[in-house]
Chain A
């Protein structure tokens, strides 16, 4: 079983803990001749592919480097403009490196608070009375399991699709949270979790789960 990440959201919807685990890095490098057969979107913050996916370079991937020179958004590290370099036929052949964008901390906070209304609307739109919010959300590349405690704290685990037994893992994380976070005298509620002991225990738990010993109950 592969776990991609663990998120803890406080009852007011703020992200208080996030741990990334084994997220695959998708990068592709290719040498292009003029004119390039990709349609690129030149945004000041990033240059991304909008059409023409091939050889593992997919729509949505962002430009990382040109000829080994890192790109910072729309400009290269040596100060040149990415668009000018790519559109100039004299520079070819060009070696471009693309990668799937990784979430920044800000994006993670944004996404965690975005899950909060989804959770609430799912319960409101329920055709059956007394429904809870989203417990499992499945896409073709991952599955998200969410466990809400009685006090409103949400624990989320993102793993590869068709995983079972994640609800036990979530309850174990809740146990770790109650033991190592709530009993920490330096921790104030609703604030981001920075407890080393909790990090270590969580890491150990995830490694244990990944090895396939689903007998998670052992502590």
Chain B
């Protein structure tokens, strides 16, 4: 059980997409509140990393790990934020997120004429493609003992 959940935020902090797989613990708040907390944390980490860095940043924050999970982060120049929680053994998640952006997000969300930018994704086709993409990814099946 390797991938726990995936968030997509736009540059204003609106949650465009959320899905979870095998999540074992609920945070005890509504999804809306949780998304705000998550975005707030990422925003703070971004500013923390910018000030803490001894030299000039290029990509900025990449991921953090706790003893139970890892949270990987990808931000596009346009401010879209992709956040994925996995187990701590997963590697190359950044490349996976980049592929997710290029192959799924651009193809099925940005090119969907019925999607209004800045609103959550509602298309069933898109949701199904995202689910397929994550389930086929190499990190989905890793069993962490």
Using CB atoms and an 8 Å cutoff, list the residues of chain A in contact with chain B. Answer: 4-5, 23-24, 26, 58, 60, 100, 103, 107, 111, 114-115, 117-118, 121-142, 144, 158
- Pairwise interchain contact A60-B52, C-beta atoms closer than 8 A: no
Q: Of A26, A103, A118, which is within 8 A of B56 by CB?
A: A26
Judged by a CB distance under 8 angstroms, whether B106 is at the interface is no
Could you write out 30 A-B pairs with CB less than 8 Å apart? A4-B54, A58-B56, A60-B50, A118-B45, A122-B64, A122-B66, A122-B71, A124-B37, A125-B38, A126-B25, A126-B69, A127-B25, A127-B69, A128-B69, A129-B68, A131-B68, A132-B66, A132-B67, A135-B65, A136-B64, A136-B65, A137-B63, A137-B64, A137-B65, A138-B63, A138-B64, A139-B61, A140-B59, A140-B60, A144-B52
For A130, the closest partner residue in chain B by CB is B68
Judged by a CB distance under 8 angstroms, whether B136 is at the interface is no
Which chain B residues border A24 with CB–CB below 8 Å?
A: 54-55
Which chain B residues border A141 with CB–CB below 8 Å?
A: 53-58
Bound together, the chains give a CA A140 to CA B61 distance in angstroms of 7
Bound together, the chains give a CA A39 to CA B29 distance in angstroms of 44
Tell me if B's interface is mostly helix, strand, loop or mixed.
mixed
- Pairwise interchain contact A103-B51, C-beta atoms closer than 8 A: yes
- Pairwise interchain contact A133-B66, C-beta atoms closer than 8 A: yes
Interface size, B (range)? 35 or more
Q: Of B37, B55, B57, B66, which is within 8 A of A26 by CB?
A: B55
Contact with A along B62-92 (1 / 0, CB 8 A): 1111111101000000000000010000000
Q: Of B40, B49, B54, B60, which is within 8 A of A23 by CB?
A: B54
Judged by a CB distance under 8 angstroms, whether B20 is at the interface is yes
Judged by a CB distance under 8 angstroms, whether B114 is at the interface is no
Judged by a CB distance under 8 angstroms, whether B34 is at the interface is yes
Judged by a CB distance under 8 angstroms, whether B5 is at the interface is yes
Return A45 CB to nearest CB of chain B, in Å.
15
Within 8 A of A (CB), among B28-49: 34, 37-38, 40-41, 44-45, 48-49
Judged by a CB distance under 8 angstroms, whether B9 is at the interface is no
Bound together, the chains give a CA A143 to CA B42 distance in angstroms of 16
Return A131 CB to nearest CB of chain B, in Å.
4
For B26, the closest partner residue in chain A by CB is A127
